[in-house]
Structure 1
């Protein structure tokens, strides 16, 4: 998995947004440490709960929060950029368009290389999906807000009806459908393979809903108390609807849940949602929790939230930094110790993944804070992109 870009809104940033973004950045770090040093314990999509330990399952579930929250907050931040508090509204289209292209460029260059240290396969992953979503929002943001919200709801709530549509490589529309929804390899050739790992259609719906939520944070209709109440209502609505449609296996997920031998295994079955593309149930769970966290972080201010806010204020810098730190660390460990897990070097226990994540979160805090401070003071437009 990977991270979202924040859009500068006003000179005074809304701390709860950065704090939430910082929290899911650390969940993302956990998942990427897992991918780097637990690669010998692969996780399918949806997860095979018969072959996956409880600890590994819930560690992965934590990372499920990352992409939906990042994309949702990207749309929300776009609204804040377009409606700076106390100033005349402005168009976000140009900024969204340029930043979306920038993210796609970063994805296919720096980020793609950081995964394996080569370019044998070009993976179009979360940064690509965010970039495409931003470009889509750049075009659609010219619509009236109610139509943006309606389109977002239609995509998020309706896209599961498309799961039965599958095209083969020799069929017309295969490439565009793979990019939008199907996931798979596109434009096969002898030089480089390209895989669309993050189907973009559901993420476009999520970014539109984030933008639609923007007036909660800047506008005359909502003060802080009303915003907090509304966030709780949205969170309860998402999780309540999830309990109904998932509980009765009505709609929103390709794999029905089933009662298992133990309570915890039944919970695992219930929460075993598809991510590629993200199902409606996946989005309801993550956005619902995200709204409760926004509520919590607006009321909570302490040293821990300040720690999280630092990571959330420089997301792209941290995203690139941690990927290369993990790549270099892996190469060094292989050269020193060799491969101890078949063809990979890896840890033996899940607790080592958590310990490594905590250590890296402390080690990478200082450079991230220094860059965040520099970005806040800098007048460079390019620096703001990070």
Structure 2
């Protein structure tokens, strides 16, 4: 096993992480400039244009793949190549706490330039999942495999369990499973937008997949395993979705057109992520991870750079979008009045402009990310590794 072989493995992880980060940028550009065409969860296919539907659908891959890779990366951090095993629990606890702190401060501010409501979103979910993995990682691997599968496959069975806001257990259940407000009175409202229980299952499955990327497994075996796992997820998805037996709140139905029928089949719940949602995104993610094993191109190098500095990219791109909106608003003014308060809003006229904006920002962010990646690689400062 050579260092080059190991590096290729790590490169494939960074490339895939970079790919979902760029997809995330497209979705966040949509939320910044296309909010007047907001989508429900799951989406209403009768009122959502196909271009908007598939743009939003593409963004569904971001959180599951990123959180799965977070668990995988935690295992690789714990088991470095040709070095003694490291204690991963401390790293997970500190990194998880940092992500939660960032979510509550500079990330939340980047969305609205205000603190009227604190939304606990994806960084919150990742942070809580990392802290949970720090505790769960003491368990035997076979227990973790069973736990991860049980959570991912079983959490939808808990949907009938509900609590009213004034009942004991409401706060914990809202954080774990039911999206909702934790606090509605006082100086600031707090909403748990990403129920964390399913994501804990995903990060655990990523962690227990780590041995597949150790020196004892050759490239061909790993690719075959990833392909088999990805296909198994998609077959399971097709069976569940075709029969409408479990996991989704809206059944799949044949529509008037092929495109509408495909939209109906792929219309999955994200908050919390349903089993079909996770089978679809993680199944495709496994296939992509196998394919990217041998990726060598300028595009893959760009994606690798983004994937090596995900937190830096995440924070910077949010503020670039916020600043871009303010600048364009000052230049062009509002194009419509939007929302319950009739707020003036600068809206793009079509989804194509969202994609163009994301492409331009991707190019602009490459050099800063590359510079930070070099700094991160060369720096001996301990705090840098948490970024």
Same fold (TM over 0.5): yes
Give 3-state SS (helix, strand or coil) of 1:364's partner: helix
Which of 245, 259, 275 in structure 2 is aligned with 1:250? 245
Given the alignment of the two structures, is residue 134 of structure 1 paired with residue 130 of structure 2, yes or no? yes
Equivalent position of 1:218 in the other structure = 214
The alpha carbon displacement at 1:219 in A equals 4.5
Q: How many residues align?
A: 376
Given the alignment of the two structures, is residue 28 of structure 1 paired with residue 24 of structure 2, yes or no? yes
Given the alignment of the two structures, is residue 353 of structure 1 paired with residue 354 of structure 2, yes or no? yes
The alpha carbon displacement at 1:37 in A equals 0.2
Which of 260, 268, 280 in structure 2 is aligned with 1:273? 268
The alpha carbon displacement at 1:187 in A equals 2.5
The alpha carbon displacement at 1:91 in A equals 2.0
Give 3-state SS (helix, strand or coil) of 1:251's partner: coil
Between the aligned partners of 1:332 and 1:182, the Cα distance in structure 2 is 37
- Trace 1:1-386 onto structure 2 (pairs within 5 A): 14-220=10-216, 222-342=217-337, 343-386=344-387
Between the aligned partners of 2:261 and 2:249, the Cα distance in structure 1 is 17
Equivalent position of 1:7 in the other structure = none
TM-score using structure 2 length = 0.95
Give 3-state SS (helix, strand or coil) of 1:189's partner: coil
Residue pair 2:9, 2:213 contacting (<8 A) in 1 also:
no
The alpha carbon displacement at 1:326 in A equals 0.5
Between the aligned partners of 1:384 and 1:352, the Cα distance in structure 2 is 36
Residue pair 2:16, 2:289 contacting (<8 A) in 1 also:
yes
Residue pair 1:175, 1:187 contacting (<8 A) in 2 also:
no
Residue pair 2:8, 2:294 contacting (<8 A) in 1 also:
no
Between the aligned partners of 2:116 and 2:227, the Cα distance in structure 1 is 46
Between the aligned partners of 1:138 and 1:245, the Cα distance in structure 2 is 33
Between the aligned partners of 1:275 and 1:184, the Cα distance in structure 2 is 14
Which consecutive residues of structure 1, in runs of 5 or more, have no partner in the other structure?
1-9
Give 3-state SS (helix, strand or coil) of 1:326's partner: helix
Between the aligned partners of 2:381 and 2:51, the Cα distance in structure 1 is 44
Residue pair 1:39, 1:344 contacting (<8 A) in 2 also:
no
Between the aligned partners of 1:109 and 1:32, the Cα distance in structure 2 is 18
Between the aligned partners of 1:366 and 1:60, the Cα distance in structure 2 is 27
The alpha carbon displacement at 1:188 in A equals 2.6
User: Please, what is the CA RMSD of the aligned residues?
Assistant: 1.2
The alpha carbon displacement at 1:335 in A equals 2.1
Between the aligned partners of 2:332 and 2:61, the Cα distance in structure 1 is 34
Question: Which deviates more, 41-50 or 82-91?
Answer: 82-91
